[in-house]
Chain A
């Protein structure tokens, strides 16, 4: 016994404790492992892929590998048009891409930057493939076939699209592009869209959040202060919107808010206005419908936190001489804040991604960013732009969340 340290040696105890803690941690990790794996597969991977697609730009280079390489090697003359070697590479690319049926991908990419780029690529490829013998000079032949091949803009577009990565889509998502010399410029005024749509998206989400806060806070307060029997019945009423499909709810708002709908008839009957008000197919309709849909997300977290606040605290504050407003601000609000903050964040984040409701009850100036992401994903298959717009939304949301965390944290620290 005299060689071994005694069983109650602090070092041994510490080691045992460490072992137990490790085992516990491992157990906890194993418990969350399935969820973690699930999250990685269905959440992190697609987002990473989206971020990748917003800078990946290899469609053209995959269809036309030779011209991309030749252009990097030989460059262009001072007029911005390359020489015979690059044109020969282009002709070979056009021919093989037509045979392999891959011209369409390059054509689509070219079309983003060059007006009529699609038909330029398709028609020239069809023509090259049909030639019996190579012309003396590909450069002369191709420019004769279509003058666009002799223009600086065409070649700077091919250069931009030579991949493997480019900032084309990211720039497009903030209304910028590179001009023929490679400097970043704003797109023409008639095409400046996305910055405005981002601002609009965040504006609508913020407005809806504030409306939900104004309506949801008193409702949650009422629910929390009622006896639980009545409170539970009222809670069911709050949950009711969850049991009707989104489209049905939206459709109901259309019926209620339209020009000769219920609300307008009531307004006319009460003499509040002589003409029907425009309550739908504009921003008003969007805010009403979205607030209605998202209100439960505000009420539920706020209610669950408010329930746990003992009413004695307020009574104590009052008996110690605090006026009701001070008692509410200094005692009740700080305790309720986590619930309100969670609700507000939930509403804001969900509102950012809405597009079906704004599309059905809003006007053309109420389209949110996600509707454009959907358009480019499924409609026109411009995945680079869709990914860039999605990445922009993700980054902006994360930045806002950081600001929000600082603010809410700050409020809580100040309240103690």
Chain B
């Protein structure tokens, strides 16, 4: 969630003695900004109070290279890190993450199936959704087919610059059932089909690059519909008094996970912290602060219903969403990025 940070929060420098790893306190690393403030309040401080153990927290901007440098330098200053799904996948392949011993964090059955991975446990669920301004659009769009129908809903559309997400949306708009999207994308014809669909509205697309842009594009009336990270829309509605609506059908969701860096000297404390953050009663407090879904099965029951409906993990939202396939994108991102840019640039 590199996009959650409005401005980079200055990371607290851990004053662990270089080399004397065992003298280092448990250090947890997350995405900074409003999100980490919420985590501090709901997870980190209560953990310190409950266990009496020291805990330092830092923030980062992601990147597998950063984790590599931490572990391979042999002098890691971090223990528990929140990573995006690609970093989880790559880090696990490269052996720079501990394999999770599920018995120490409440067992696999405590968590949603999607949150269980060899090297990490899901922390939050966030979604890539379609949003519109209720004040400008009387009738809510029903799905991606409407997004590509400029006759039905005239006006410009916002999409994130790059192939990821857009190819999936284009296929859904073209009538591919949601559960078959990645099967179709796995073929050259499927990719051609997605680009052909995008081609039909090429002249009406405004490309955005930073997560802060889509709410601004909607607010100014520059676009009538846009793809956007769900947390941004919720924040605009709650903090800026906007009246934006989210179209959940056809949204793409993904998870961020907690991982433990390989050979962490604080591995016992790390498991303790992850177990504490995985308890349903603790997780249920997070969505009040920020519109992300949480991963413990029993947490949703403890979240007020009118809040739950805004989250990717609400059962009715999850039922009409698709998980982003990291396997597909790790395999194809370079090639499709080139192709996307050739297509978009002409």
Residues of chain A within 8 A of B45, CB atoms compared: none
User: Closest residue of chain A to B205, judged by CB?
Assistant: A364
CB neighbors of B among A345-381 (8 A): 359-360, 363-365, 367, 372, 375-376, 378, 380-381
Q: Size range of the interface on A? A: 35 or more
User: At the interface, is chain A mostly helix, strand, loop or mixed?
Assistant: helix
Residues of chain B within 8 A of A372, CB atoms compared: 341
Residues of chain B within 8 A of A118, CB atoms compared: 330-331
Contact (Cβ within 8 A) A367 B331: no
Contact (Cβ within 8 A) B344 A119: no
Of the residues B63, B94, B161, B335, contact of A115 by C-beta under 8 Å: B335
Contact (Cβ within 8 A) B342 A365: no
Contact (Cβ within 8 A) A101 B65: no
Interface flag for B35 (CB, 8 Å): no
Contact (Cβ within 8 A) A363 B207: yes
- Segment at the interface with B among A86-94, A189-197, A208-216: A189-197
Of the residues A197, A259, A363, A382, contact of B334 by C-beta under 8 Å: A382
- Segment at the interface with A among B48-56, B213-221, B250-258: B213-221
Contact (Cβ within 8 A) A112 B334: yes
Contact (Cβ within 8 A) B333 A190: no
Q: How many Å lie between the Cα of A246 and that of B65 in the bound state?
A: 27
Contact (Cβ within 8 A) B93 A193: no
Contact (Cβ within 8 A) A119 B213: no
Residues of chain A within 8 A of B221, CB atoms compared: 259-260
Q: How many Å lie between the Cα of A102 and that of B95 in the bound state?
A: 8
Q: How far is the CB of A370 from chain B (nearest CB, A)?
A: 14
Of the residues A104, A190, A367, A378, contact of B90 by C-beta under 8 Å: A104
Residues of chain A within 8 A of B206, CB atoms compared: 281, 363
Contact (Cβ within 8 A) A191 B220: no
Q: How many Å lie between the Cα of A375 and that of B63 in the bound state?
A: 11
Q: How many Å lie between the Cα of A259 and that of B222 in the bound state?
A: 6
CB neighbors of A among B162-220 (8 A): 205-207, 209-210, 213, 216, 220
Contact (Cβ within 8 A) B338 A254: no
Q: How many Å lie between the Cα of A380 and that of B93 in the bound state?
A: 15
Contact (Cβ within 8 A) B93 A365: no
CB neighbors of A among B16-72 (8 A): 63-65
Query: Given A193-B345, A258-B222, A378-B65: A360 and B207 within 8 A (CB)?
Result: no
Query: Given A104-B93, A260-B221, A364-B344: A119 and B331 within 8 A (CB)?
Result: yes
Interface flag for A107 (CB, 8 Å): yes
Q: How many Å lie between the Cα of A197 and that of B346 in the bound state?
A: 11
Interface flag for B343 (CB, 8 Å): yes
Residues of chain A within 8 A of B334, CB atoms compared: 111-112, 376, 380, 382, 385
Query: Given A101-B94, A103-B93: A365 and B337 within 8 A (CB)?
Result: no
Residues of chain A within 8 A of B341, CB atoms compared: 193, 197, 364, 367, 372
Starting from the known contacts A193-B342, A365-B346, 13 additional A-B residue pairs (CB-CB under 8 Å) come to A102-B94, A107-B93, A190-B343, A191-B338, A193-B338, A193-B341, A193-B345, A258-B222, A259-B220, A259-B222, A360-B209, A375-B337, A382-B334
- Residues of chain A whose beta carbon lies under 8 Å from any beta carbon of chain B: 100-105, 107, 111-112, 115-119, 122, 189-193, 196-197, 200, 254-255, 258-261, 281, 359-360, 363-365, 367, 372, 375-376, 378, 380-382, 385
Question: 21 A-B pairs, CB-CB below 8 angstroms?
Answer: A104-B94, A111-B334, A119-B331, A190-B343, A191-B335, A193-B341, A196-B345, A200-B345, A260-B220, A260-B221, A261-B220, A281-B206, A359-B209, A359-B210, A364-B345, A376-B334, A378-B65, A380-B334, A381-B64, A382-B334, A385-B334
